[in-house]
């Protein structure tokens, strides 16, 4: 599979009590995928490098065609608290499909409390706990809507130093 794309991330960050806070964050992505395999009458043929990906059409303009699936998306996040996402893809066997979503997180609330009151337990929670709710809707012109929802709880109970990280990595990925 050939996958080519780009991402642009812009944001505004301020310092509050000498710690950075992201006020707003914009992320735009575009990606084109070509499976590099063509089915023919007598079997399959294989393409090299980027296959049928046209950088102007499939990546910059994010338009898919019969051979290439193009995806594009925008995410806007405000203060590590609210997030809105929008995207679409087309090409290959797909007609144009669209998605959008919304999410909220507690990271910013814990961060503001920690910065305002400067308590050790709030620092502990801010650095290790993040609660989030996300919802996303997938839809097309030909089909009914499909909604995905997720509740996320992230807990970081400890931090790994370099030696511990190497040991965990070795143990997880060691070939049997």
Domains in the chain: boundaries: 2-173
pLDDT of 160 reads 62
Instruction: Kindly give the confidence (pLDDT) of every residue in the chain, 176 residues in length, as a single tens digit, with 9 standing for 90 and above.
Output: 899 999 999 999 988 767 677 899 999 999 999 988 888 888 888 888 889 999 999 999 999 999 999 999 999 999 888 999 999 989 987 778 888 999 998 877 887 787 777 777 777 777 777 888 888 888 766 666 677 777 777 766 666 667 766 776 666 666 54
Q: What are the pLDDT digits (tens) for 106-155?
A: 877 887 787 777 777 777 777 777 888 888 888 766 666 677 777 777 76
DSSP 106: S
pLDDT of 144 reads 62
pLDDT of 145 reads 66
pLDDT of 140 reads 66
pLDDT of 118 reads 73
CA nearest to 127, candidates 104, 103, 159: 159
First to last CA, the chain: 28
pLDDT of 176 reads 45
CB burial readout 55-89, b (16+ within 10 A) else e:
eebbbeebbbbebbbbbbbebebebbbebebebbb
Q: Is 111 helix (H, G, I), strand (E, B) or coil?
A: helix
Q: Across the strands, what pairs with 31?
A: 5, 71
pLDDT of 48 reads 87
């Amino acid at each position: 599979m050939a996958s080519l794309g780009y991402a642009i991330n812009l944001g505004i960050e301020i310092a509050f009590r000498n710690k950075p806070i992201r006020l707003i964050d914009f992320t735009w992505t575009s990606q084109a995928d070509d499976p590099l395999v063509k089915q023919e009458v007598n079997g399959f043929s294989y393409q090299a490098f980027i296959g049928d990906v046209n950088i102007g059409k499939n990546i910059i303009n994010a338009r898919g065609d019969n051979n290439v699936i193009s995806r594009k998306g925008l995410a806007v996040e405000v203060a590590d608290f609210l997030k809105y996402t929008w995207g679409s893809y087309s090409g290959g066997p797909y007609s144009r499909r669209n998605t959008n979503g919304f999410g909220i997180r507690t990271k910013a609330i814990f961060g503001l409390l920690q910065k305002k009151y400067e308590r050790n337990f709030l620092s502990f929670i801010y650095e290790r706990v993040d609660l989030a709710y996300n919802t996303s809707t997938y839809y097309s012109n030909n089909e009914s809507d499909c909604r995905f929802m997720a509740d996320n709880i992230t807990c970081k109970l400890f931090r790994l130093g370099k030696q511990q990280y190497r040991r965990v990595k070795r143990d997880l990925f060691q070939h049997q």
